[in-house]
Amino acid sequence: MAASLLNDRDIAFMLYELLDAESLTRRERFREHSKETFEAAMDTARSVAEKYLLPIRQKTDLIRPEFDGKDAHLIPEIKTAMQAVIDAGLASATADFDMGGMQLPSTIACALSTHLTAAGMSTMGYTTLTNANANLIEAHGTAEQIEKWVRPMREGRFTGTMAMTEPGAGSGLADLITKAVRQDDGTYRITGNKVYISGGDHDLTENIVHLVLARVQGAPKGIKGISLFIVPKFLVGDNGEIDARNDVALAGLFHKMGGHAITSTSLSFGEKDGAVGYLVGEENMGLSYMFHMMNEARLFVGTGAAVMALAGYQYSLDYARERPQGRLLAEKDPHSAPVNIIEHSDVKRMLLAQKAYAEGALALCLYGARLHDDEKTAPEAEQREQAHLLLDFLTPIIKTWPSEYGLRANHYAIQVLGGAGYTNEHPVEMFYRENRLNPIHEGTTGIQSMDLLGRKVPRNQFAGYKACIKAITETIIAAKNVAGLEDYADTLEKALKTLDDTTQTVLGASRSMNIDAAFSNSVKYLDVFGHVVVAWMWLKQGLVAQRALDTPLHDSDEAFYRGKIQAMRFFFVSELPEINHWATLVRELDTTNFDMQPEWF
Amino acid sequence: MAASLLNDRDIAFMLYELLDAESLTRRERFREHSKETFEAAMDTARSVAEKYLLPIRQKTDLIRPEFDGKDAHLIPEIKTAMQAVIDAGLASATADFDMGGMQLPSTIACALSTHLTAAGMSTMGYTTLTNANANLIEAHGTAEQIEKWVRPMREGRFTGTMAMTEPGAGSGLADLITKAVRQDDGTYRITGNKVYISGGDHDLTENIVHLVLARVQGAPKGIKGISLFIVPKFLVGDNGEIDARNDVALAGLFHKMGGHAITSTSLSFGEKDGAVGYLVGEENMGLSYMFHMMNEARLFVGTGAAVMALAGYQYSLDYARERPQGRLLAEKDPHSAPVNIIEHSDVKRMLLAQKAYAEGALALCLYGARLHDDEKTAPEAEQREQAHLLLDFLTPIIKTWPSEYGLRANHYAIQVLGGAGYTNEHPVEMFYRENRLNPIHEGTTGIQSMDLLGRKVPRNQFAGYKACIKAITETIIAAKNVAGLEDYADTLEKALKTLDDTTQTVLGASRSMNIDAAFSNSVKYLDVFGHVVVAWMWLKQGLVAQRALDTPLHDSDEAFYRGKIQAMRFFFVSELPEINHWATLVRELDTTNFDMQPEWF
């Protein structure tokens, strides 16, 4: 079966009909661009994905990276594919022209990445991390650091990592103990161990730029004593030449359930005389800098999860269209021909759920990318500020909802294929294994829920929260005036009221009761918020689709828009009502979890 | 970390406090047994599991079976472990004494299997299938067939398979095309291909007994023209000696996401001159015979899923007790020591969910096994009939609920471990991969939901359905009279009312509207029914626990029973209310799925 990777029609819908990406070309930063250059980049991405990444996708899954006791080695096809991505300019799509980038909007870059991710999955992890690393140094480093480390990353000669997690402190960054000792020459010597460092070693590029969180001697305890360092695998001379190996050793590789193309490493810094590190910005400000990279990584986790969901949906859809099996229940004649399984109501349910999850998640991620463009390039300061507020607020949802529901989508993709889906004759089980990481890395779902409820919602007198409610309300008002969407608008309005009541109650209670008890259903709160936000994304899509359906259309366009309306209906009828029970748990301050005693398990 | 495999205290609770397994020793068939012999068998199972299966568990996952173009080869440790299981009598625990079995009740055999499955997972699949195969032939074969095929299976010299699925007809058995041609000597020649045959080839035993569904020339179309044949890998002489190889060829192995110890095979029957097959029972009655094996296999799928859930729960619980990380939200002092993660409310939530799913599922499966004992050995015909009715009715739920929710439990087990859970340094990702098959094989969740709503509920004037409602009601009545359980009893009573209203509405509607539309939310119906049944299992456990708590207890016993009460509370507060929305979808005959048109996707 030659399955299509993704639905191009849908990506164009998202970009140009939903998010008006073309309007970005009127901004100064993107004035060299036009819809044509966007589409040319998209064609390039699709072509590189199909030519270099897709053919090796299964091979990267089957042949894991190897550790020879010193270095990690990948199959050479990964290097070839990465080089093709770099040569096509896709690795630095958003970077400045004068850094060798394409200076594309993030919205377009995010759309480009869907093709590459669908075909290349974990291979693209190297590029994503490298970009986020370079963006951090560009934002917080010195001009010299940018020249020395960012430029080669933009050119694809170096890759970058984020080295946070330690064996003794996973999500608990406050307890990290990697040490940094200031030297007379202004550099630092770094000593410590980091684990689960993605891309922490490989043989793809000349050098690897680790961004390492460590504690300078005498720094305060907790998160206020963390600094950020550039710690390269190889030192680099003043003219950019590769110099001696730094004291960074690969201690081992982790064997993951999925995502085998990108190494997951255990790194030892300073086993000999200390790894040379270069401070980024000021001492003890490291965590705030790291969040520049982390927030970007969180958006990419969400997007990756959405793309895995889309890829599984597309694959299982193509399969269901072609696989004859069984008869409709209404058909009693055993002599009748079997139907293709797409005709069975329960298969339609599993495909609709995938469509609702995957396209809802993608719309949310692209909306986030559009906010990223707006916070950087919108003409008015007020617009930029609003976009920043909203993106910052939505980050835990953009990271988590696609991760949790994208995985469910992949569950259904396997289920549509049945026994075949459980074997590696089809890629859906690989998508499922790969996607399982997304609710974990860059902050687990539990961590994100605390971030949302404990920080993002109340921060700045609920500024982000209010901006989000306002944006949703605008869509509701618009939908109330479109025939056919009134009921959806009313339903979302009620859901928003439920969300708001829940928010007020739980935050009010958290001031007068034990906060661990009050927040003990924080994940359910995140579920409620996530579902409301994705329902909003569906209503936005429904608005575009309904308006299109109210004009004369070609048959294929009509079918496309009807599909959007039906997926919106599925989400509103089948998914959104789930929030009522979840909200009740949160609002009634149920303490079942909190009350459970360790010795009772 | 030396994690315990399973909680022995809980298994004893289920057997002796919940199901009164000791009373079975008063029955004729089990009169040689006592609680002591049951416990001795349990000790043996635990010991074989720990000594032979657990040490090779990861190895069987990492080193997959190999196909040399002719046969499948396993690592030799699997044979050693299987032989230990056979030598200990555990492979034929329920078989008659005169067949070399231990003649144990199914309830006890099911409990024994939990230890073996937790440690051996897919390795135990060979034994499970062999038993179910032997039981079918014992029930429907001739005395000669029993002597020739069942005895060596009971002795562990042969294994057995179930060969149903064909490449062109997965779940659609009505369309299977494997042919059987009657010979003058009374045997048949079988020609056709079967896929996803578990244990279809291996080098563990002298012979393999395939039970093959095929169509005798001239048989009616559809399921009424299917016959069942014994088709051995090697022919067997009159004195039981292994004879020539039959015309059954291994065409290839499937590479599954999990469960690597047991081969999944593609078999070609009759590529040369037809495989010799021996008819079981009468022609065209094959599917009804096969259901003897299939129903047993479905109960084992549920049990296996429950055990994977238990094993993941136990492992993540042990991990959470020992892993320090982070602080409670109420703790603001960064100088305070980190707490073990079991103290965090959200980790408690994930552990409670696992406990509620896993122990709820296990109670259900053991209850099913107890019904199996009762249908065979209860003293009164009326009791046997009632037990048969109830077990037959509950089979789709026992198969599906543990499969779907056991997988969710394993999802949480990974999540409790975080990044570590995604690597093969811990077994939880393996449990998750293994468990993913359970909602698929032996009838997918969709198929089970149709079986429940379309067949099991209305059959015989709702006889099984009524028996189930009656049994649940009895527990509700008992709980109403126990202080502390009244609210739970009321809640379950309301849920039962919701279920019953939903049942009447959807079946009523199915007579007047398109049945594919009426049944288009059948999986939601199964979800509702499954949740009600598992809530019932929790109320049963709560009854035992509350009565125990009302008496003086040791501290450890008190903690155990408090844990049961808290898990019941979790299920009733957090899970059971989900049914309201699902039931609404079914009852309001929502046709979103049915209405979706293939071209709209």
In a domain, A576, yes or no: yes
CB-CB neighbors (< 8 A) of A439 in chain B: 415
pLDDT of B391 over the 90 cut: yes
Angle CA A411–A413–A415, to nearest 5 = 70
Tell me the three state secondary structure of residue A143.
Answer: helix
Give yes or no: residues B454 and B588 share one domain. yes
Size of interface A-B (CB pairs under 8 A): 273
From B258, B285, B312, give the residue that closes a domain: B285
Beta-carbon separation of B328 and A175 below 8 A: no
Question: Please, which pLDDT band fits residue B1 given cuts at 50, 70 and 90?
Answer: very low
Q: Enumerate residues 6+ apart whose C-beta is below 8 A from A347.
A: A320, A341, A416, B446
Taking CA atoms, what residue in A is nearest to B518? A345
Tell me the three state secondary structure of residue A308.
Answer: helix
Give yes or no: residues B580 and B484 share one domain. yes
Q: How many helices (H) and strands (E) does chain A have?
A: 20, 12
DSSP secondary structure letter of residue A233: S
Beta-carbon separation of A445 and B415 below 8 A: yes
Q: Please compute Rg for chain B using Cα positions.
A: 24
CA distance B446 to chain A (A): 7
State the pLDDT at residue A3. 54
Residues pairing with A232 in the sheet: A209
Give yes or no: residues B132 and B194 share one domain. no
Are B204 and B82 in contact, with CB atoms under 8 Å apart? Answer: yes
In a domain, A257, yes or no: yes
pLDDT, one tens digit per residue, over A550-575 is: 999 888 899 999 999 999 999 999 99
Tokens standing for B445? 């969740």
d(CA A389, CA A383): 10
Give yes or no: residues A129 and A223 share one domain. no
Q: Pairing between strand A188-198 and A264-269?
A: antiparallel
In a domain, A430, yes or no: no
Give yes or no: residues B229 and B121 share one domain. no
Domain residue limits at B492: 444-593
In a domain, B199, yes or no: yes
d(CA B299, CA B365): 7
The percent of residues in chain A predicted with pLDDT above 90, rounded, is: 95
Mutation target for B interface from A570, A593, A597, A599: give the one with most B CBs within 10 A. A593
pLDDT of A1 over the 70 cut: no
Q: Please compute Rg for chain A using Cα positions.
A: 24
Are A409 and A309 in contact, with CB atoms under 8 Å apart? Answer: yes
Domains: count for chain B: 3
Beta-carbon separation of A255 and B577 below 8 A: no
A433 contacts chain B (CB < 8 A) = yes
Q: What is the ipTM of this complex?
A: 0.97
Give yes or no: residues B457 and B524 share one domain. yes
Q: Pairing between strand B72-73 and B66-67?
A: antiparallel
A302 contacts chain B (CB < 8 A) = no
B172 contacts chain A (CB < 8 A) = yes
pLDDT of B414 over the 60 cut: yes
In a domain, B439, yes or no: no
From B244, B264, B285, give the residue that closes a domain: B285
State the pLDDT at residue B334. 79
Which of A464, A494, A490, A467 is closest to A479 using CA atoms?
Answer: A490
In a domain, A307, yes or no: no
Which of B440, B439, B417 is closest to B429 using CA atoms?
Answer: B417
Q: Tell me, what CATH number does B45's domain have?
A: 1.10.540.10
Mutation target for A interface from B1, B64, B171, B257: give the one with most A CBs within 10 A. B257
Beta-carbon separation of B593 and A422 below 8 A: no
pLDDT, one tens digit per residue, over A374-427 is: 999 999 999 999 999 999 999 999 999 999 999 999 999 999 999 999 999 999
Give yes or no: residues A118 and A177 share one domain. no
B579 contacts chain A (CB < 8 A) = no
Give yes or no: residues B123 and B251 share one domain. no
Mind telling me the catalytic residues of B? 442
Tokens standing for A501? 């009541």
From A83, A115, A143, give the residue that closes a domain: A143
B568 contacts chain A (CB < 8 A) = no
Give yes or no: residues B458 and B554 share one domain. yes
CA distance B274 to chain A (A): 27
Beta-carbon separation of B325 and A559 below 8 A: no
d(CA B531, CA B303): 17
Tokens standing for A272? 């000999």
Task: Scan residues 232-251 of A and list those with Cβ closer than 8 Å to B.
Answer: none
Give yes or no: residues B588 and B476 share one domain. yes
Taking CA atoms, what residue in B is nearest to A354? B601
Residue type at position A6: L
Are B267 and B200 in contact, with CB atoms under 8 Å apart? Answer: yes
**Cα-Cα-Cα-Cα dihedral sign, residues A551, A552, A557, A562:** positive
State the pLDDT at residue B3. 54
A577 contacts chain B (CB < 8 A) = yes
d(CA A341, CA B522): 16
Tell me the three state secondary structure of residue B191.
Answer: strand
Could you give phi then psi for residue A421, rounded to 5 degrees? Answer: -70, -20
Angle CA A363–A2–A14, to nearest 5 = 15
A221 contacts chain B (CB < 8 A) = yes
Beta-carbon separation of B171 and A422 below 8 A: no
- What is the rounded average pLDDT for all residues in chain B? 96
Question: Which phi-psi region, left, alpha or beta, contains residue B249 (left: φ > 0; alpha: ψ -120 to 50)?
Answer: beta
pLDDT of B171 over the 80 cut: no
Mutation target for B interface from A596, A597, A599: give the one with most B CBs within 10 A. A596
B554 contacts chain A (CB < 8 A) = no
Beta-carbon separation of A330 and B418 below 8 A: no
Give yes or no: residues A526 and A560 share one domain. yes
Q: Tell me, what CATH number does B245's domain have?
A: 2.40.110.20
pLDDT, one tens digit per residue, over B276-314 is: 999 999 999 999 999 988 999 999 999 999 999 999 999
Could you give phi then psi for residue B308, rounded to 5 degrees? Answer: -60, -40
In a domain, B372, yes or no: no
pLDDT, one tens digit per residue, over A330-379 is: 998 878 999 999 999 999 999 999 999 999 999 999 999 999 999 999 99
Give yes or no: residues A241 and A173 share one domain. yes
In a domain, B182, yes or no: yes
Q: Enumerate residues 6+ apart whose C-beta is below 8 A from A224.
A: A284, B334
pLDDT, one tens digit per residue, over B4-25 is: 799 999 999 999 999 999 999 9
Q: How many CB atoms lie within 10 A of CB A66?
A: 12
